[in-house]
Amino acid sequence: MTLPGYLPAEAPLAMPVQSLGVAPKRGPRPVTAPRGLFFRRLFVIGGAVIMTAGGGAEMYKVFNGNGPSVLGILILILFLVLFAWIALSFMSAVGGFFASLAGGGLGLGITRNGPLPQLRHRTALLMPTYNEEPARVMAGLKAIHHSLAATGQGENFDIFILSDTTDPDVWIAEEAAFLAFRAEIGAGAPRLFYRRRAKNIDRKAGNIAEWVRRFGAAYPQMLTLDADSLMEGETVLRMAAAMEAHPGVGLLQTLPVIAGGTSLFARMQQFAGRIYGPVIAQGIAWWHGSEGNYWGHNAVIRTQAFAEQAGLPHLKGRKPFGGAVLSHDFVEAALMRRGGWAIHMVPALGGSYEESPPSLTDVAIRDRRWAQGNLQHVGVLPARGLHWVSRLHLLMGIGSYVTAPLWLLFLLVGVLVSLQSRFVQPQYFGATKSLFPRWPQVDPVLAKWVFIGTMAVLLAPKLFAYILLLVNGPLRRGAGGAFRALLSLLLETLIGGLIAPVAMLIQTEGVMQILAGRDSGWNAQKRDGDAVPLRLVWRQYWRFMATGVILAVIAYAVSPALFLWMTPVLLGLVLAVPLVMLTASSRVGVALQRMGLLSIPEERQPNAILQSAAALRSGSTPPIPHAIRHLLGDAALLAAHRAMLPPARRPGQDPIDVPLLVGLTKLAETDSLQKAIDQLSKQETAAVLGSAEGLDRLQAMARDFAVLSLGDG
C-alpha cells in the first residue's frame, strides 16, 4: 500500500528466511581481503596461544608444585580460559598499535579528506525507534539531515523513521514531531518518511526486515542507525561511495565514538572509548580483514546482500534461548559472509557517534538483554557454512558474558585453596608408596609474579593507547594535554577497577537468570542522566555490599595476606552503593570536565553535527501529552494519522486483535470521553488509535462532549 507523502512507492524485495542447517554455495574469497591476512591471524592467535601456554605453565607451578590436586587443576583450567581471553585481546591490541603507528590507510579506497566522491545510487537511512523520546530522536535526525544536505548530494539519500513504538502517547508524539520536521524541510533533500508497525514482530531485526521486504528494491544500500546515533554527512557519503566502488562488499562498519555524556560514568565510558577504543578497533580490523563483524548501527549495508542472506530464522526451543534472535547483528554479519559477501570495518574514518548510558544501573539493564542475545548464539554456532572467523565472533560474544561467572568462580576457588591450606591437615603420605611426601604448597612469590604478569597483559592496551596519544597532536590536545590525559587514564582505571567486581556480580546474576529460563523482555534504553535516589540504589546494590563484607571476613579469617590480595575486589564490593551514586552524578562529571579530566576532542571542540544535535536537544522537553487528547485536539495531526493507518484487518485471514475488540467494547459502553481515557489501557488505546472504527467512535464522543459543554455553558 502506498501512502502519498508519508511513504514512497513500495518496491518489494524478497528476503527469505535462512536455514542454519543447510549451507549456501560458497563463493570465492573476497577480492577486498587485505594481503598477508593469514600471517596477521597467525600472529594474533598464535601469540595468544603461546602466551596462554606460558601463563598456564607458571600457574600450574603456583598451585601444583608438589603434584596435582583437585582444586589446583580446577583453578588452572579456569585460569587458562580467562587468560586466553585477555591474551587474545592483548595480541589484537599489539597489532592495532603497530598498524596505527604505521599510519595505514582506511582501506577500500576511502579517504578522510579530499574531494567528496559523487554517488550514483540512492541510499536509505533507517532510524528504528522503540518508545524513545520523540524530540530527542528528531533532534539527532535533524542534525544528520542538515549535515547530508550540506554535502550538496542530499538528493541521493532518503531518511526512514521505522517506529516499533507501543506506547500510544509516544506514538502520537512521534507523528507530530515527524510532521513538524517535514514542514520545516519542505521539499528539500534528503526526503523524510515515517512508518509504524502495529505488531513489532521479531523486534529490531524484524523492523528492518519488514522495510527491506516493502521498499528494499528501490535502494541499493541502506545505512542503519540507532536512536542515539549521529553521523556526519561526509562520512556517510564516503562510505556509500566505497560500497558503490566495491560490489563484493556486503557491509561497512564504522567505529562510533561515544560523546555527549555528562555523568561521571558516561564520561568515563566516552574517554575509554575515544582513547583506548581506536587501538583496539584498529587491531580488530587489522586481522579480521574481510571477515569483520556488525554492531547493529552506524553501518552501510548492501540491501541485496542483506535480503539474500540475513533473513533470520527463529531458534529452536523456548525462551530465553529459543525464539527470535535478539543480538541479530552478529548473526546477520555471519550469514552475509557465509553467502560470499565481505564484511569490513573502517575504524579510523571518524564522523560516527553514539551515546553512553548514564549509569552502571542503566548499563546493567541493557547488558541483561545483550547477555541473553549473545548466549542465544550457542544455537547459531553449529550453523553450516559459517566462516571460522564468524564463529569466533559468536564465541567472543558468548565469552564476553560467560567470563563474568568464570572470574567469580576463579576467585571463590582461590579462597577455597587458601582455606584448605589454612585449616585442612595435610596428608603427607598417601596410599601410593613414595620415598618423599607430597607437601601441599602454594608458591606465594611465583603467585605474585603471575598476578603482575596478568595485570600487565590486561592493562597494556591502555599503555599502547597513551603512547599513540602522545604522538597524535590533535588527540593529545583534545584530551587536555599529556599530563591531564595521564591523570584521566589513572582515574578511569582506578574507578573502573573498583566498579569491575560489582559489574562481575551483575553479569553473573544476569547469566544465572537466563540459564534459569527468565526472558529479558524489551525495554527502551535510558539516554539522559538524572539524580538517582539513595533509597533505590540501596535496594539494588545492598546485596553486593553484603557479599563484599562476607568475603572480607572470610579472607581475613584465613590470613591477612589473602585479605590484602583481595583488597581491590573487596573494596569495590563494599563501596558498591557510594560508587554507583558517585558515577551516576552529572555534578561530579561536570566538575571533572571543568578540571580538564576525562576530556576528549569531541567535547573540547565539538564539530558541526555534535553542536547542531546539542543545540537541538538543549532546553527542557515538554511532557508528552495523552495520545487521545493530543490527536483529537489537532485536526491536521488527526488527518495525517488517519492517512498513515495500516490496512484494515481482513476477516478470516488476519488474526483477531483482542486489545482492539476490548477497546471498542469499552468505548461502546462508556458515555463520556474522559471515562474512555481513564478506562482504556495503553495497549487498548494503541489498538483503538490504530483503527479507523476506533477513531470514528472517539471523534463522535468528542463531538458529544463539545455539544454538552456548550449546552452547560
Average pLDDT rounded to a whole number, residues 111-123: 92
Mean pLDDT across 667-676: 87
pLDDT score recorded for residue 525:
61
Q: Which helix (H) or strand (E) holds 337?
A: helix 328-338
For residues 200 and 206, the answer to whether their CB atoms sit within 8 Å is: yes
Region 334-347 average pLDDT: 96
pLDDT value at 3 more than 70: no
pLDDT of residue 711: 43
Q: Is residue 387 within 8 Å of residue 291, measured between CB atoms?
A: yes
573 part of a folded domain: no
Mean pLDDT of 420-433: 54
pLDDT of 434 > 50? The answer is: no
Residue range 52-96, pLDDT digits in tens? 999 999 988 887 666 677 888 898 999 999 999 999 999 999 999
Separation of alpha carbons 166 and 156, rounded Å: 32
pLDDT band at residue 438, thresholds of 50, 70 and 90? very low
Q: Write down the mean pLDDT value for the chain.
A: 90
Q: pLDDT class for 521, splitting at 50, 70, 90?
A: low
Pairing state of beta strands 230-231 and 352-354? antiparallel
Res. 423 pLDDT band, cuts 50 70 90? low
pLDDT of residue 448: 82
Residues 610 and 653 in one domain: no
- pLDDT confidence of 435, banded at 50, 70, 90? very low
Peptide bond into 24 cis (omega under 30): no
The answer to whether residue 153 is domain-embedded is: yes
Residue 555 lies in a domain: no
Q: Which amino acid is at 400?
A: S
For residue 400, what is the domain's CATH number?
Answer: 3.90.550.10
Q: What is the pLDDT of residue 28?
A: 81
Q: What is the pLDDT of residues 309-328, one digit of tens each?
A: 999 999 998 888 899 999 99
667, 676 Cβ separation under 8 angstroms? yes
Strand partners, 163: 129, 196
Is the Cβ–Cβ distance between 189 and 155 less than 8 Å?
yes
Q: Which of 371-375, 567-571, 700-704 has the lowest mean pLDDT?
A: 700-704
One domain for residues 82 and 218: yes
One domain for residues 145 and 50? yes
Q: What is the pLDDT confidence band of residue 439, given thresholds at 50, 70 and 90?
A: very low
Reference 343, options 234, 221, 243; nearest CA is 243
**585/651 Cα distance (integer angstroms):** 54
How far is it, in rounded angstroms, from Cα 194 to Cα 624?
19
Q: What is the pLDDT of residues 220-262, one digit of tens each?
A: 999 999 999 999 999 999 999 999 999 999 999 999 999 999 9
Sheet order of strands, 230-231 included: 230-231, 352-354, 257-258
| 649 in the same domain as 501 | no
pLDDT at 483 over 90: yes
284-310 pLDDT, tens per residue? 999 999 999 999 999 999 999 999 999
Per residue in 341-379, pLDDT (tens digit) is 999 999 999 999 999 999 999 999 888 889 999 999 999
Q: Are both 607 and 705 inside the same structural domain?
A: no
Residues 464 and 519 in one domain: yes
pLDDT (0 to 100) of residue 705: 60
| DSSP at 323 | B
* Residue 311 resides in a domain: yes
- How large a percentage of the chain has pLDDT more than 70? 92
Are 524 and 659 in a shared domain? no
Task: Sort strands 257-258 and 352-354 into parallel, antiparallel or unpaired.
Answer: parallel
Q: What is the pLDDT of residues 573-626, one digit of tens each?
A: 999 999 999 999 999 999 999 999 999 999 999 999 999 999 998 876 788 999
Indicate whether 625 belongs to any domain: no
Is 622 among the domain residues? no
pLDDT tens digits, 630-641: 999 999 999 999
Name the pLDDT band for 437 (thresholds 50, 70, 90): very low
Q: Does residue 422 have a pLDDT over 80?
A: no
Task: In whole angstroms, give the CA distance from residue 178 to residue 513.
Answer: 39
CA angle 333, 334, 335 (to 5 degrees): 90
Please give the share of the chain, as a percent, with pLDDT higher than 90.
73
620/135 Cα distance (integer angstroms) = 10
- Would you state the pLDDT for residue 530? 60
Q: Quick one: 455 and 491 in the same domain?
A: yes
> For residue 260, what is its C-alpha cell?
555527549
553 is a domain residue: no
Cα Rg, the chain, nearest whole Å: 28
At residue 2 the predicted structure's pLDDT band, cuts being 50, 70 and 90, is: very low
Range of the domain at 110: 1-424+440-531+584-617
DSSP conformation letters of 218-285: G-SEEEE--TT-EE-HHHHHHHHHHHHH-TTEEEEEE-PEE----SHHHHHHHHHHHHTHHHHHHHHH
Whether residues 652 and 527 share a domain: the answer is no
Model confidence, pTM: 0.92
The residue type at 399 = G
- Domain's final residue, options 572, 598, 617: 617
100, 103, 108, 112: CA torsion to nearest 10: 100
Rounded-to-integer distance, Cα 158 and Cα 148, Å: 10
Is the same domain home to 682 and 590?
no
* Domain-located, residue 292: yes
Q: Give the strand pairing for 299-302 and 221-224.
A: antiparallel
Residues 668 and 527 grouped into a single domain: no
Q: How confident is the model at residue 382 (pLDDT cuts 50, 70, 90)?
A: very high
Quickly state the pLDDT bin for 31 (edges 50, 70, 90): very high
What's the pLDDT score for residue 137? 94
Q: Are residues 361 and 227 in the same domain?
A: yes
Residue 529: φ, ψ to 5°: -90, 135
**CA geometry: angle 552, 558, 562, nearest 5 deg:** 65
* Separation CA 258–CA 527 (nearest Å): 12
Does the pLDDT of residue 536 top 80, yes or no? yes
pLDDT digits (tens, 9 = 90+) for 264-284: 999 999 999 999 999 999 999
Task: Return the amino acid letter for 367.
Answer: D
When divided into structural domains, the chain yields a total of: 2
CA–CA separation, 670 and 680 (whole Å):
11
